[in-house]
Amino acid sequence: MASHIVGYPRMGPKRELKFALESFWDGKSSAEDLEKVATDLRASIWKQMAGAGIKYIPSNTFSYYDQVLDTTAMLGAVPERYSWTGGEIGFSTYFSMARGNATVPAMEMTKWFDTNYHFIVPELGPNTKFSYSSHKAVNEYKEAKALGVDTVPVLVGPVSYLLLSKPAKGVEKSFALLSLLSSILPVYKRSSPRVTNEEVQKAAAALKGSDHRRATNVSARLDAQQKKLNLPVLPTTTIGSFPQTVELRRVRREYKAKKISEEEYISAIKEEISKVVKIQEELDIDVLVHGEPERNDMVEYFGEQLSGFAFTANGWVQSYGSRCVKPPIIYGDVSRPNPMTVFWSKLAQSMTSRPMKGMLTGPVTILNWSFVRNDQPRFETCYQIALAIKKEVEDLEAGGIQVIQIDEAALREGLPLRKAEHAFYLDWAVHSFRITNCGVQDTTQIHTHMCYSNFNDIIHSIINMDADVITIENSRSDEKLLSVFREGVKYGAGIGPGVYDIHSPRIPSTEEIADRVNKMLAVLDTNILWVNPDCGLKTRKYNEVKPALTNMVSAAKLIRTQL
Ligand code: GLN
Ligand code: ZN
């Protein structure tokens, strides 16, 4: 059972505050003297509460005069007659409101909820301007924290504050004080610059009204891309990652722990990329990947480079079998201070004349695989991530990357339980994806990848993502996926239903893969079908990956000769 108290007598055991106040008002002591008495009093109270073992210790229960007047000061709701000109409210304005001064009378005082405590009645009207003008609550919190006491700040709530107020002189008696609620809430507001980024908020809010769709339709885009990429029919590719070796993990770990220098790290990763590029060229794969050796995880890697994300050391969540992920925590507005993948993608592209896929995680997947702040709707956070990824897409394109894959492995995972809410979710999720790439040229090919999930009932949303090519994890449920196309869904974009299962160490034969591809060709047009494994290869070993991909490429080549 945790103990908590909501307030504490503030005059001091021997009315120390009373004597300090009266001496200050009489001009017998200075403001510093008064502040010193107040500071000592607060410290002794907090220590006393902490010493008594109270778990939730309040702060901001201290006041030089009255907590409602303190709130008036916090909100900057100083009646005009006190000639306050802005800035942090000091003793002179504060005590003038409480007690009047030589020229101006005090504000009205009345009894607090039928008790004998009196508070200073706020005077408000339609023209009252509010601004954050007393940081007392935050200052007291910090003061206690510096003493080692983590407190619960106590505030007069916004509704109570307004209902305890009265219409100012000259304002109609019937004035609805609660109509000021929306004006005072911004002053009350959860605004650390680490959480709030107004520029991002504005940009994200501006997205809602528009559709964000590439101007040209997908078949015309595919034609334009083919002219540039010149790929064979049934092009082969992989999903992104190549095996994560013990050595690779060691390099990343040691770089993170600053045991190896940036140069050493870059050269180790560069070597790995060049090895992966060589393997793919030898295998004769058509669209290459760099293998993602610099990434620990497809969400954590991006979260670490975006603002608004925090990380745990051991917040593991089981994914499947023995595999776990460590979801980041999104606590603030999301922005991308610097390019995240451009350096590696350009480096990888420079090693080959074949197209190299830029590899990104999409906004919906970053959202669904994180612990997400709950002080704003999820779609707003998702739009913010989408804008950050959009910048990355544009930088990759400007860097000469012609094929960009934006993984939406977890698109379906955010689907609400209630069917009635599906359409709304799918609408903003798919919209977020389109935001990331609506601005690229027709000749830039946008891929997306989705992991195992049920596609059939969301196929129209998937089409609505308007990617040029989608690779889908499918090898454990061939029939289910293909049935949707058999039932007549029109699909015009490129599609690569995975031809073998990467979650298993088993190596599929050429015949087995060819058989699968043929089954797909029975329902999908030849010119849209891609041949690829069903997910990234990072959990596999090279002695599994090499023969499996060899057979995959052979199967594609075999079928090309039969077309
Ligand atoms: N590009 C990622 C990879 O290949 C995709 C992983 C995933 O879909 N879960 O690892
Ligand atoms: Zn996948």
Atom 4 (ligand 1) nearest CA: 536
Ligand 2 centre from 445 Cα, in Å?
Answer: 19
Q: Would you mind telling me the total number of residues written for the chain in this entry? A: 563
Q: Tell me, what's the pLDDT at 476? A: 65
Alpha helices (H) along 369-474: 378-398, 422-437, 459-464
Give the C-alpha separation, 182 to 179, whole Å.
Answer: 7
Q: Tell me, what's the pLDDT at 475? A: 64
Ligand 1 centre from 194 Cα, in Å?
Answer: 30
pLDDT tens series, the chain, 563 aa: 899 998 899 999 999 999 999 999 999 999 999 999 999 999 999 999 999 999 999 999 999 999 999 999 999 999 999 999 999 999 999 999 999 999 999 999 999 999 999 999 999 999 999 999 999 999 999 999 999 999 999 999 999 999 999 999 999 999 999 999 999 999 998 878 889 999 999 999 999 889 999 999 999 999 999 999 999 999 999 999 999 999 999 999 999 999 999 999 999 999 999 999 999 999 999 999 999 999 989 999 999 999 999 999 899 999 889 988 899 999 999 999 999 999 999 999 999 999 999 999 999 999 999 999 998 999 999 999 999 999 999 999 999 999 999 999 999 999 999 999 999 999 999 999 999 999 999 999 999 999 866 788 899 999 999 999 999 988 666 677 788 888 878 889 999 999 999 989 999 999 999 999 999 999 999 999 999 999 999 999 999 999 999 999 999 999 999 99
Atom of ligand 1 minimally distant from the CA of 240: 4
| Residue 294, amino acid | E
Atom 8 (ligand 1) nearest CA: 409
Atom of ligand 1 minimally distant from the CA of 241: 4
- Burial environment of residue 96 by CB neighbours within 10 A (0 to 12, 13 to 18, 19 or more): buried
Is there a contact between 233 and 409 (Cβ–Cβ < 8 Å)?
Answer: no
Q: Which of 238, 241, 248, 537 maximizes ligand 1 atoms within 8 Å of its Cβ, making it the mutation to test the pocket?
A: 241
Is there a contact between 432 and 364 (Cβ–Cβ < 8 Å)?
Answer: yes
Q: Tell me, what's the pLDDT at 477? A: 64
Q: Nearest to residue 469, comparing CAs of 279, 238, 242, 212?
A: 238
Q: How many CB atoms lie within 10 A of CB 255?
A: 18
The residue behind tokens 């009315």 is: 15
Q: Tell me, what's the pLDDT at 418? A: 96
Q: Tell me, what's the pLDDT at 487? A: 82
- CA of 362, nearest ligand number: 1
Single out the catalytic residue among 135, 212, 422, 503.
Answer: 503
Atom 1 (ligand 1) nearest CA: 240
